[in-house]
Amino acid sequence: RKEVEQDPGPFNVPEGATVAFNCTYSNSASQSFFWYRQDCRKEPKLLMSVYSSGNEDGRFTAQLNRASQYISLLIRDSKLSDSATYLCVVNIARAGGGNKLTFGTGTQLKVEL
Amino acid sequence: NAGVTQTPKFQVLKTGQSMTLQCAQDMNHEYMSWYRQDPGMGLRLIHYSVGAGITDQGEVPNGYNVSRSTTEDFPLRLLSAAPSQTSVYFCASSAGPGFGQETQYFGPGTRLLVL
Mark which residues 53-112 of A lie under 8 Å from B by CB: 87, 91, 93-94, 97-99, 101-106
Contact between chains at B102 and A34 (C-beta distance less than 8 A): yes
pLDDT confidence of A97, banded at 50, 70, 90? low
Q: For residue A29, what pLDDT is reported?
A: 87
* Chain B positions in Cβ-Cβ contact with residue A98 (cut-off 8 Å): 31, 48, 50, 97
E-strand stretches of B1-86: 4-7, 10-13, 19-25, 31-37, 44-51, 54-57, 64-66, 76-78
Determine contact: B90 vs chain A, CB below 8 A.
yes
Contact between chains at A91 and B108 (C-beta distance less than 8 A): no
- The answer to whether residue A64 scores a pLDDT higher than 70 is yes
- The answer to whether residue A56 scores a pLDDT higher than 90 is yes
Q: Tell me which of A103 and B40 has the higher pLDDT.
A: A103
The Cα of A98 is separated from the nearest Cα of chain B by a number of Å equal to: 5
C-alpha to C-alpha distance for B100 and B103, rounded to whole angstroms? 7
pLDDT confidence of A33, banded at 50, 70, 90? very high
The Cα of B51 is separated from the nearest Cα of chain A by a number of Å equal to: 11
Determine contact: A26 vs chain B, CB below 8 A.
no
C-alpha to C-alpha distance for B55 and B46, rounded to whole angstroms? 11
- The answer to whether residue B37 scores a pLDDT higher than 90 is yes
Determine contact: B54 vs chain A, CB below 8 A.
no
Q: How many Cα atoms are found within 13 Å in the side-chain-facing hemisphere of B17?
A: 13
Contact between chains at A32 and B102 (C-beta distance less than 8 A): yes
- For residue A7, give the chain B residue with the closest CA: B40
Mean pLDDT of chain B: 95
Determine contact: B95 vs chain A, CB below 8 A.
no
Sign of CA dihedral A10, A16, A18, A22: positive
Q: For residue B69, what pLDDT is reported?
A: 97
What Rg do the C-alpha atoms of chain A give, in angstroms?
14
Task: At B84, give phi and psi (nearest 5°).
Answer: -65, -10
Q: What is the mean pLDDT of residues A31-48?
A: 95
